[in-house]
Every structure is written in structure tokens, then in C-alpha cells.
Structure 1
């Protein structure tokens, strides 16, 4: 990411900030000096308020060690690292603040500021911290009649906004983001949090209602669900918020008159069911559209919301809007990628007497597409090819490469229906090295044929892939670890072996990719043993149930890889 104009928030090149300018926009929405640092204390993003307060352009801040560049004692000397509370908070990933700190400005001046450091996720899985600095002001006493017994100090407000930024930008799941915001605001600001979102068809849905009850947060599913359409002319607070108007206050009396819309009817029900005596309602705006509205309500607390509470609520919903925009974009991209991947995978043939089914599960993160595939197609009336494979990578390039390899394999196998699987894979390997832009791939090609004795025979070759698993009807399971050869794309020429066996009646053959058995902190042997044990226990299940249960029980929860699986069940002899 290039350094942007110094007059705006900007991120340092070469560091893992959130893609695009989301991190910059998040910081720019903070109306005090805000600096994001990585876990080494290096400045990766700043907002314009920081540049103004510290009299330093972005180019003078980005990429610098925040401690060495800025932090001083009252005499202007660099604070020793061993005694620096700010640096200790960064290293321990904790939140710390102080009302008095001295910092060096670009013009040589020494400025006294209050500061706050809190953990901050630069991207999901990439840790850092957010540093806020502001001129210390003693807590103000309000005499305007708008004071409340729960007014937040400036430090409390900044800490809440910083925590909101961190929590919301560290997830790409809309539902998770809403639950996190509810937990941040209830019971700190209110007893209830209500989220109404607009769908892509401009329909309204009350997606989350959270209540603080007996010391815990409780989700009220009975108050959630579809809502009436937005009333275009209604002056009622929620209708105005869903049209993008400014935030406003509401109470039971707001909706006591004749309702002007279906939304007004639902709002009257909400106040009745929850017992809220006061509410603040603000729009959740994305970059281009209104995404919904947040209602914070008070029922147990005696103090009512006032106009003084609305700026903070708008700050929160502005951050929520950016996070939801990003999450929705990610989910749309993920859906498109997953749809493309599924269209690349084939429909299985109908083979008289055989049961055959397949599963594909996309990676839970990343681009959600990859190079895993399965295939099955006829070679002759009583012979079919079975394929499982994995092209290196987890992106669109891997998926495109997978489609090329699969189509070439089909062509080679169909043109030589009587050839041994090893001969077909050898031909494919040669083509992969010269035609397809695929770094490497593993695969199994098997020929399943019905003999004159009415028994099914399997002949296969394995190009560096996890071995097939054969499970008999009485629950014995073992791996077919013969016929192992080198993977595709290495450039090494070696003979590829074939092996053939007779498959027992009612046995189940499982071909799978490594996403089913591999996990970051476990050995491959552990995964293979787990798969064999669970498959044996499920041998009596119908094939569809067998596959579903196997995926659910065996696939590691912490594995960020896609899974392809092909299963065949041999019939009883006629």
C-alpha cells in the first residue's frame, strides 16, 4: 500500500494493514490523535489528527519506531525501554493509559498529552496496537440538564471507540461483528441492543436483539425476524434512520399515537416487550449505502438517553458500517468463488449396481477456492475412472489449474480406455510440465471395472496423494498404500506403479484430499489414524450418511484447507 496524501490517514507500505483503505478510514474516524503500530512498535498507520498534533507529516511517522521517535520524559530525554509502560502494554497485548506523558513534536517542541494503548488487529491474525493521544481535560461537570449518572469520561469514550475499532475490524463475519458490538455497548451504555439491517433487496430484517439480564447477555430470538418495509415519508426515528437520516431519541410515547407504518407497529411492540423507557437510534452507513440501524435502549437503568449521547452512538455506528461493508464484500466474493468452484466440479455418473457420492467443502478462510477436485466418468460400459486430486495453492489460480488438469486427464483417459492408470498419469505429467501453469499436483487415478465373475476390481496408481481407504461391511478398514509414485510437476521421470485388487461386496472405498486429515499441530499419521477409526465405526451407515458423518467427525476444526471426497460402495453379489 503506497503512502497517501499527508493530509489524510495513511498506511505504511510493506506492512500488513487491512486491504484497501479500511484501516485508514477507521483511524480517520477517530477525532483525536490515533496511531496504529505493529507488534514491534513500528508505526503502520496514522490519521490527520496525529499529524497535526505531533507536527509531523505521515512520511516522517510511517515506518518509524514509535517509542524512539516520540516518547520522552519531562526533560526531553528518550524514555528507557525497560521502564516504558506504553511499550510494556504493547508487548503484553494489554490495555494501559496515563493522564500524563511527554512526546516529541516535529518542530522540536515537547508536548504533554494523555495516552491510551490498546491491542488492535491490523488484519485477522496480525496483531498490533492502537495508540491514542489527546490533551488531558479533567472530567467536565454538566449543568445543562442533559447530564446523566453514567456519563463517560473522555478516556472512557476513546477507550470504547478504540476497542470497537479493534473488535470489528478483526472479523469478516457480519453476525460475529454484530454480536461483538452488542457486547461492547451492553451493559456499558444500555440494557438493550437492537440491530435492523437492510438486505440487498431493500427489505428490513431485525437480525439481532440482545438483552442484559442477570449479569449476562441474552439473545432474544422471539423479537428477531423480518420487518415491514421502510416508510418513505415517515418521521418516526427508526424509519428515518433506515433512510440514512441523523440519529435521534425515542421512547414509548414516540409510538403511542396512530401508527403511520408497519415499522411503527413493530417499534411499539418492541418498547412494550422490552420495557425500554428510553432509546437512541442511529443509522449504520456503509461507504455508499445505508446498511441498517442500531437501537440502544434502557429499561433497568433509570437515566434516559439525551442528545449528548448521540455523537458517541454515531461514532460507534460509523465504525460498524465500515466493518459490515467490508464483511459483506468479503462474503459476496466468497460466495462467487465457491459457486465457481462447484461449477468446476463434475456431476457423478449413474453406474448400475454401484452407489457413488462426493463431497466438496471450501476452505473456511482465504479465498475459499482451491485446487482440490474429484471426478468419475465412464471408460467402457463396465469400466469407470475414479479420480481424486489436489493442485498446489488455495486461490483462483489453483482452481483454474485444477480445471485444466482435470480436463486433460479426462481426454487422455478416454482416448486410451484400456491403458493402465500409470500410463495415463505419466502422459498427464508430461503435459502438465509443458502446457499447464501448475506448479505441482497430487492425484490418484483408478479404474473400477466389473469382471466376468461379477466382482468389481480396482486398478490404481497414486501420484503423491494420501492413500485410498477401504472399509469392509463388518467394520475393518485399511489403507491401499501400494502403487505410490512421485507427484506431478517435479520434472523427475520415474516409472509409475499400478496395483489391482478385488473389492469385497458391500465394501466402501473412500478417496479424499489432505484437508480431511491434516491439521497445523498434529502429525499426518494422527490424521490417518483418526480417519481410519471413524470410517470403520460408520461402515454400516448408508453412503450419504457415512460421508456426512465422516466429514463432521474427522475434518480438523483448525484446518484452513478445502476438502474433496469421493466414496463408492460395492453392491452385494447378484
Structure 2
């Protein structure tokens, strides 16, 4: 049993369900048998739910049945959690058990337990034997206890099932009694017919006065109903099928009630019926209501007639005479199918026979040809007297509904057009990937408008490029793709495409194959003829006063009609929306490229002394607005120490990039001219920003790599750094271990206060170590705590180090390849797409030094 199972609702419910079996004598016997067969001092069956309940006990545990105790303090809970036999020779020496109460007080020393697995596969407890003395358990002991546990589970399930069945029976009996439903049981072999109390009360006959035979039942029926009921009984018995009947019962006091009976004839081994079971209830009130309705129908303006079991008219009201065009005398006694032959095989026959066969009312609409020549709404009710049919002429309503249907079809077409606009807008606005957006556009237009489509983009230099194509026939899509490769280079300047782009207005091309072939040359003309378009529509894509491309839609002979004016208007709307999306995408790409170019231009190549491998990387953000502000630097001070810098100016776009350039230049100048340690450089930078009025705030780590003669002889280097609110660098030791270089206390970011006191942290590391400095784009994710991202980065670097070490296995001066480490790290981070923020990364490997 897994830890999550212990608290699962399903397992707890399975255990709680079996609690009704606590104290079951059969369980007690099984516990006694376990104690005796295994020669154990005590035996116990435990159910483990939210607490432990002793279901049965024997031997030294006798008397504990029903006791409850905390589940966590039970040895049986350990067995249940394991989900397999727990075999313990000395519990006091077992780390899992020695602190449990039963072990501490000496009741349990030797223990053998097996889990109890319920019918749904959930562990519900354990069966165990135990001794206060140390003893060993054999394999046979385990097998015996397993068998006894299986028997215990079977007894628990059986007992629980019996309790559930009894509860269901009581609920069923209460429901039946409350509903006034009686039941009967007729043994067709002995002829004995039994009523329950409810049915005796309904018939008004006591058990003593009822003869208990089918004849006694028939004697209670109204004489007019006996033959019909007998037929229903015979039909059910002969076919071993359902029994259905509605009849009147004449009680001994002379009163009459209507009864509805439903049942079924049950077959014996030879397939013939041996028993009939069923139920019946009083429907007098319902029938009286029907009678009142029948009286009303005669005076109604609606048509009504009644058919018997042989489909003969037994009642026809005055309106039915008029609508059916025959007098009542001609209709009564006549067969429906003979008098109205057009009803045979029609919806009328289908529904009339269906109502009689199922006993369920039917409501339908149907047309009857001349001489009636009308649509009717028909309601047919089956009953003991036959089929009651109510109908009225709905021809006028049907005509009106047909007109509404036509209007609805027009509205649906309008809805589909709006849905197309919505879908296209959603596709085009959900991504800034131009190629993907227009590719989706071509598919939508082919699906809703034509046979095939091309989408053409015009860039800022007015160069044309077909960037998407689609055909309704998958087999012709490669042909469309080939035509897209050829056509622009083969089109004459006066082509329909150029005309649409020049005027900004749609161009309709009838006879498209011949017309377009006239402005094409070479292979493109042949490919077009194989596609055989009948009509073409060239619709410009416009946005912000300029044309950014065009949609060319073709219809071939698979489309019988050309586009309606409203369809062409919709196509223009779609093209305009696509144009706006394309223009937005182009603008985005332009802005992003500009920001990235500016950022990269401001980042110079790092210094790289002979004994260091310095690798720098910059990755722009996915959105142009997020590019700018991150920087790295590596340079040498006059005394020979290498300074590493990583920083991030708050904000984004080209303004942040410009501010970054100022901060970076000031820091580099201060560090080189003063030659000071990191704390002094950053402190001076704080003051310079304030003095020069540079309105920028930034985080940064400035680290200096120092080495005196003793450290060089020892093969070590001192890292000295100050951290102005930036992410802590990572250090990879020569053995591959990865850790953060965190300062004792975080310090303010740059640009907040010129009076900030800066401090240095330092650590001496062996040569062969690697330092990683990075910006937050490498670790930040939406909705995630920053520390989680840092922890993930540490794990990822540790994962990539072995591969980077393997790359330089033959190089005696380097422990790992920093280039591979940097590139592999960025590749893994970029697996989910471009980062939300730009990334600056500085990886420095301290190579082995030689005198």
C-alpha cells in the first residue's frame, strides 16, 4: 500500500464498508484457527481505515474484538502499507516496529502478518499472529496465514454484501409500499397465484377469501375485460415475453377500479414458461380523467377517432368526419387501411403500429396526399380500448415553418461567416509567426470558399513571395506548392496579381485557366493548366494605408457556382484582417531585429588571458519589447587581474540598451583607471551615476580573479566579488560539483543610493574550476518562484558537466570545455521556445597554469 493510498478516499471507503463484519463468528473462528495452526500466543484480524478496528481476535488477544486504536501505532498498519507479508522474529530489534505501543509494552515480540486485499484491489487491513517471545516463522507458516487471510477477506466481503442487500431490500419495500404498487407471483407448474398485501387491498379481497388461482383472479375482473386480459396472458406465456394489461376490477362491495398490470413470463430449463411475476397499481383516477377528456373531444373543433385492436373505427367525432371526408356511418366498423390506403407504408402506419406495439403514446407530423392534401399533427395513445388518435390540420403552420427554416438557413450562413472571421482573427492574432498565420489562413479560405488558394507576401522592399498554399484535394497540394515556387518569376508585369497589388482592389478572373496562362510563361503555365481553375479571385491584403500582400483564391469545376457578392465581400474582410496581422508581424520582426542589433552592438568581445577560457553568449527575448538591458564584460586591470561583469539594467527595449551602455562604460572605465577591488569599483559607480545624472537602476556582479605567488604555486585562484542585487554566480569545482557563490548579505542594486557601503566576498578555488555568471532570463519562468529556477539551473549544469568534461578528456590544461557547456545550457533552456526575457551568459574556465 503506497503512502498516497493510505489517505485515499477509495481505500478508506473500502475499509469502512467492511466494519459491519466486526465480531462475525466466522471471523472469530478463523482467528482461533490461525492461532492454533501456527502455535501462536494470539491472532487478530484488523481493519485499517482512519483508525485500526479489531475485527476478530483469538488467544491472548481474546476480548479485543471491536477495539479501536490509532492506525499509526499498529503493527498491522505496517503490514498493510507494505502490501506483502511482514515476517518479524524479534520486533524489538526491528526499526520499523520497535517504537510501536504493542512492541514497547511486550505484547508483540515475534510477529507474522499478511495484508487483507478487498474485492476492488485496495488493502483494507491485515491478519496476523504474534507472540511475546522471540520465534522464527517458516515458509509454511506464511502460506497457511495467506490462505486464512483469503478466507477472512471472503467472509468480510460476504458479510458486508449481506448487510448491503438487506438495506437495499428494505429501501425497495418502502418505495413500493409508498407508491401503492402491489405484486403477484404465479407458479405455472402448480397453478398457485399469490398476491402481496398491497394487491389484496387493491382487489378488496382478503387472503382467506382469495382462492389463489388464475380462475379466482379472472372472477375479480369486469366481464367485458376478461377476454382481452386472457389474450394478453396467453401471449406472454407462449412467447416468454412481457405481460401488459389494463383492466377493471369489480370489488366485493360493488365498486369498480381500473388497474394497470405489468409483468413477465419466465422460462424453465426447457424454454417454456414456468412462472409469471409482475406488479399492478390503481389507475382509476387516470382513466376517469381520460373519460372526461373523451367527452370533451366530441364537442371539440379538433378531429378525434378511436381504433380497436383490429384497426377498426369504434368512435369518430364530428370534426373527424369533416376532415376525413366520410360520414360516421361509413367509418365506424371500417378498417383504417382499407378506407385510407395511402396510409399503408407511410408515417401514419409506422407510428400507429409502433404505439400499439410499445404501449407508449406517439406524437408526429405527416402529410396525407389528395384528396386530403394536408399536413397533420397527430397524437396517438394506446389503451385497453384500442388506439386513440387526435389530429388537426397544420398545413398553414408547416408552410410558415418552412419559411422560417429558409430564414434560419440564411442566418446560419451568416453565423458561419462571422465564425470564419472570428476563427481567422484568432489564428492571426495568436502568433507573431507570419508563416504559420498565413498558412492557417489558406486552409480556412479553401474550406469555406474555393478549391485552392495562394497567399502572397510583399515585404518592405516590395519583393513578392508566395508563403502559403493549400488545395482541398490532398493529392493536388504538391502541385499547388510547385506552382507557388514558379509563378512569381513567370508572371508578366501586367498580371492580375500585380493589378490587385497596385490598385488595392479585388480582381475577379473568369476563365482563369486561359486568362492567367496568357500572363505566364514556361513550366508555371503548364502547372496552372493541370490545376485547371475556372474562376480566380485576387484580393489584396491591406493595412494602415498600404498593401502588404494578396490572397488568390481559385474555384475549379468541383464548385458549380462562382462566389456570391456577399461571399466576395467576406473574402475582402478576411484579407484585410490578414493584412493587419501580417503588417503587425512585420513591424514586430523589425522592432525586435532593431533592438537585438543595438544590444549586440553594445556588447564587445571579452578579454581572454592565456590561462583563462572566456565564453560569452547573448540570446534575445521572444518579444521585441523585452530585448535590451542585459550585459556581460571581461577585461584586464593594469595590475593584471581579470575582471568579470554580468549585469541587467531594469527595463527593456532600446532605452534600456542605451542605459546599459552608459552603466557598462562607466564601470569598465572606473575599474581600469582605479585598479580597485570590486567593492570600490561598484561604490565609485554608484557615485558616478548620481553625479552624471544617469537615471538607471541595475543589478550587477563584479568579480576579480586574483592570484599571488603562493596561490600560483599552489595551483589556486582567489575569486573576489561584490553583488549589487544580482543573481549569485555558480561555481563548478574540478570534480564537477556545482554550487552558488552567494554573498553573506544581499546589497542594494546600482543607482539607488550613492552612499551604499559595498563589501567583497571571496573564495579560493583550485585551477580547473569554472565560473558561470548569468542574467535572470536564464532561470525565470512565469508563475514560478525564482529560487526554483535557480535550483533547476544548478541541476541542469551538473547534468551537462560530464559531457563538457568528456570534450576535453585529452587536454591536460583544461578540465571541461566552457564553449560546449555554454551552448548546451542555452540549448536545453531554449527547448520550450525563445525565452520571455533576454539572456546574457559568461562562462569562465580557469585552465592549468605553467611557469
TM-score of the pair, normalised by structure 1:
0.65
Q: For the residues of structure 1 that align with 2:551 and 2:772, how far apart are their CA atoms?
A: 49
In structure 2, what is the Cα distance between the partners aligned to 1:537 and 1:521? 24
> In the alignment, which residue of structure 1 is the partner of 2:847?
571
Structure-2 residue corresponding to 1:562: 838
Correspondence for 1:305: 562
Q: Distance in 1 between matches of 2:791 and 2:557?
A: 55
1:526 to 788, 802, 805: 788
Q: Note if contact 2:492-2:519 (Cα within 8 Å) is conserved in structure 1.
A: no
1:544 counterpart = 2:795: no
Query: Is 1:394 aligned with 2:652?
Result: yes
**Stretch deviating more after TM superposition (182-191 or 310-319):** 182-191
Secondary structure at the aligned position of 2:585 is classed as helix
Whether 1:506 aligns to 2:759 is no
* Selected match of 1:491 from 753, 763, 780: 753
Deviation of 1:327 after TM superposition, in Å, equals 2.2
Indicate how the Cα distance of structure 1 residues 298 and 557 shifts in structure 2: closer, same or farther if over 3 A, else same: same
Structure 1 counterpart of 2:40: none
Aligned counterpart, 1:174: 434
Cα 1:487/1:271, change in 2 over 3 Å = farther
Is the 8 Å Cα contact of residues 497 and 550 (structure 2) preserved in structure 1?
A: yes
Closer, same or farther: CA 269–255 of 1 in aligned 2, 3 Å: farther
1:362 aligned residue (620, 642, 645):
620
CA distance in 2, matches of 1:470, 1:227: 58
> In structure 2, how many angstroms separate the alpha carbons of the residues matched to 1:378 and 1:340?
25
Task: Determine the C-alpha separation between the residues in 1 that align with 2:528 and 2:681.
Answer: 67
1:515 aligns with 777
SS of equivalent to 1:538: helix
- Could you list the runs of 5+ residues in structure 2 that have no partner in the other structure? 1-402, 805-816
Shift of 1:158: 3.5
User: Are 1:472 and 2:733 counterparts?
Assistant: yes
Q: Which residue in the other structure is 1:194 paired with?
A: 454
1:446 to 681, 684, 703: 703
Does the residue aligned with 2:579 lie in a helix, a strand or coil?
helix
Q: 1:277 to 1:205 in 2, by over 3 A?
A: same
For 1:255 and 1:514, the matched residues in 2 are separated by: 59
Comparing both chains, which one has the higher relative contact order based on Cα–Cα distances under 8 Å and sequence gaps of 6 or more? Answer: 1
Unaligned runs of 5+ in 1: 1-136, 142-148
Alignment-derived partner of residue 54 in structure 1: none
Q: Which residue of 2 aligns with 1:374?
A: 632
CA distance in 2, matches of 1:279, 1:357: 56
Give the count of matched residue pairs. 425
Give the Å deviation of 1:465. 0.7
Taking the aligned partners of 2:704 and 2:490, their CA distance within structure 1 comes to: 60
Identify which range, 420-429 or 197-206, moves more after superposition. 197-206
Q: 2: CA distance between counterparts of 1:265 and 1:481?
A: 68
Distance 2:610 2:692 in 1: 37
1:56-109 deviations in Å (ceiling 9; x for gaps): xxxxxxxxxxxxxxxxxxxxxxxxxxxxxxxxxxxxxxxxxxxxxxxxxxxxxx
Partner of residue 49, structure 1: none
Cα distance in 2 for residues equivalent to 1:469 and 1:360: 18
TM-aligned CA deviation for residue 373 of structure 1:
1.0
CA contact (8 A) 1:449 1:457 kept: yes
**Does the C-alpha gap of structure 1 residues 486 and 218 become closer, same or farther in structure 2, counting only changes over 3 Å?**
farther
Q: 2:646 touches 2:702 (CA, 8 Å); kept in 1?
A: yes
Structure 2: distance between partners of 1:250 and 1:475: 72
- CA deviations on 1:299-345 (whole Å, 9 max, x unpaired) are 69443534634332222212222222222122212211221111111
Question: 1:361 Cα deviation (Å)?
Answer: 1.8
Match of 2:276 in 1: none
| Mapped partners of 1:210, 1:468: distance in 2 | 51
Deviation at 1:346, TM superposition (A): 1.6
Distance 1:573 1:166 in 2: 60
| 1:168-193 deviation line (CA, Å, top 9, x unaligned) | 34544422431342343242223533
400, 416, 428: which one pairs with 2:685?
428
Inter-CA distance 557–196: structure 2 relative to 1 (3 Å threshold): closer
Contact 2:642 2:706 in 1 (8 A): yes
SS in 2 for 1:407: helix
RMSD: 3.6
* Offset at residue 221 of structure 1 (A): 6.3
| Structure in which a larger fraction of residues adopt helix | 2
SS at match of 1:351: coil
Which of 141, 151, 155 is the matching residue for 2:415? 155
